[in-house]
Amino acid sequence: MPTYTFTLNGRSVSVDAPSTMPMLWVLRDLLGVTGPKYGCGVGVCRACTSHLNGAAFTPCTTAVSDCAGKKVTTIEGLANGSTLHPVQQAWLDEDVAQCGYCQPGQIMAAAALLKSNKKPTDADIDAIQNVCRCGTYARIRAAIKRAAGE
Amino acid sequence: MGHFDRALGRRRFLTALVAAPTLTVAARLGADALAPAAAGAVVPSPAQPADLTDFGDLMAAATAAETSLLVLQVTTDNRVVFQLPRAEVGQGVTTALAMIVAEELDARLSDVDTPLSDARSDMGLAQSTGGSTSVRSLWDPVRQVAAAARARLVTAAAQQWNVDANTLTTHDTAVWSPDGRSASYGSLSAAAAKVLVPAVSTAPKSTSAYTVVGQPTTRVDARDIVTGKARYALDQPVAGALPTVVARPPTINGTVVSYDASTAKTMPGVVAVTQIPTGIAVTAQTFGQAMDAKAALNITWGAGTIDSVSDSDIQGNLAAATPPLAPVLTPYVEGTFNFAFVSHAAMEVLTAVADVRSGSAEVWTATKSPTGAQSAVASAVGLSTNQVTLHVVRGGGSFGRRLFYEPAVEAAQVSKAIGRPVRLMWTRNDDMRHGRLRPRSYHRVRAGYALGNVTTYQHQMASVTVDFSGSDTGTLLANDGYASPTIGTAFFGISEACPYNFGVVTEALTEVTYKMHTGSWRSVYSALARTAEEIIVDELARAMGQDPVAFRLQFLKTDAERAVVSKVASAGNWGQAMAAGTAQGVGFHQEYRSRAACLVNIDCTTSTPRVTRAVLAVDVGRPVNPKGLQAQAMSGLMDGIATVLYAGNHLKNGAVVEGSYADFHYPRQATAPRQVDVYVLPATGSTPGGAGELCVPAAAAAVANAYARATGTKPRNFPINF
Do A10 and A53 fall within a single domain?
A: yes
Cα distances (Å, whole numbers) of residue B71 to B27, B34, B204: 7, 21, 17
Amino acid found at A91: W
Alpha helices (H) in A8-136, listed in sequence order = 23-25, 86-93, 103-116, 122-126
Range of the domain at A51: 3-77
pLDDT tens digits for B50-93?
766 677 776 666 665 554 578 899 999 999 999 999 999 999 99
Q: Is A97 on the interface with B (CB under 8 A)?
A: yes
Which of B47, B49, B71 minimizes the C-alpha distance to B58?
A: B49
Q: From A54, A77, A100, give the residue that closes a domain.
A: A77
Residue B539 has pLDDT above 80, yes or no: yes
Amino acid found at B713: T
Q: Is A122 on the interface with B (CB under 8 A)?
A: yes
For B647, name the nearest residue in chain A, comparing CA atoms only. A133
Mean pLDDT rounded to a whole number for chain B: 91
Query: To the nearest whole angstrom, how far is the Cα of B298 from the nearest Cα of chain A?
Result: 22
Query: To the nearest whole angstrom, how far is the Cα of A138 from the nearest Cα of chain B?
Result: 6
B226–A38 CB contact, under 8 Å: no
Q: From A35, A60, A77, give the residue that closes a domain.
A: A77
Q: Which residue of A91, A108, A137 to mutate against B (max B Cβ within 10 Å)?
A: A137
Do A71 and A34 fall within a single domain?
A: yes
Q: Is residue B360 part of a domain?
A: yes
Q: From A46, A77, A108, give the residue that closes a domain.
A: A77
Query: Nearest by CB to A138, which of B218, B662, B672?
Result: B672
Run means of pLDDT, 10 residues per run, chain A, 150 residues: 96 97 98 98 98 98 98 98 97 98 98 98 98 98 96
Mean pLDDT rounded to a whole number for chain A: 97
Mean per-residue pLDDT, B595-618: 98
pLDDT tens digits for B544-589?
999 999 999 999 999 999 999 999 999 999 999 999 999 999 999 9
What length is written for chain A?
150
Do A70 and A92 fall within a single domain?
A: no
Do A73 and A103 fall within a single domain?
A: no
Contact status, residue B400 vs residue B519, Cβ threshold 8 Å: yes
Residue B169's pLDDT is what? 98
Contact status, residue B278 vs residue B624, Cβ threshold 8 Å: no
Query: To the nearest whole angstrom, how far is the Cα of A3 from the nearest Cα of chain B?
Result: 15
Do B165 and B256 fall within a single domain?
A: no
pLDDT tens digits for B650-692?
999 999 999 999 999 999 999 999 999 999 999 999 999 999 9
Do B330 and B401 fall within a single domain?
A: no
Query: Percent of chain B having pLDDT more than 70?
Result: 91
Number of structural domains (chain A) is 2
Do A36 and A16 fall within a single domain?
A: yes
Query: To the nearest whole angstrom, how far is the Cα of B35 from the nearest Cα of chain A?
Result: 34
Do B638 and B508 fall within a single domain?
A: yes
Contact status, residue B403 vs residue B519, Cβ threshold 8 Å: yes
A 24-63 residues with CB below 8 A of B?
24-26, 28-30, 32, 34-35, 37-42, 44-45, 47
Contact status, residue A4 vs residue A13, Cβ threshold 8 Å: no
Q: Which chain B residues contact residue A90 at CB under 8 A?
A: none
CATH code where residue B386 lies: 3.30.365.10
pLDDT tens digits for B115-161?
999 999 888 788 889 888 899 989 999 999 999 999 999 999 999 99
Backbone angles phi, psi at B628, to 5 degrees: -70, -35
Range of the domain at B112: 14-34+41-221
pLDDT tens digits for B226-282?
999 999 999 999 999 999 999 999 999 999 999 999 999 999 999 999 999 999 999
Number of structural domains (chain B) is 3
Residue B606's pLDDT is what? 94
pLDDT confidence of B461, banded at 50, 70, 90?
A: very high
Contact status, residue B435 vs residue B398, Cβ threshold 8 Å: no
Do B478 and B626 fall within a single domain?
A: yes
Residue B49's pLDDT is what? 67
Do B46 and B67 fall within a single domain?
A: yes
A139–B631 CB contact, under 8 Å: yes
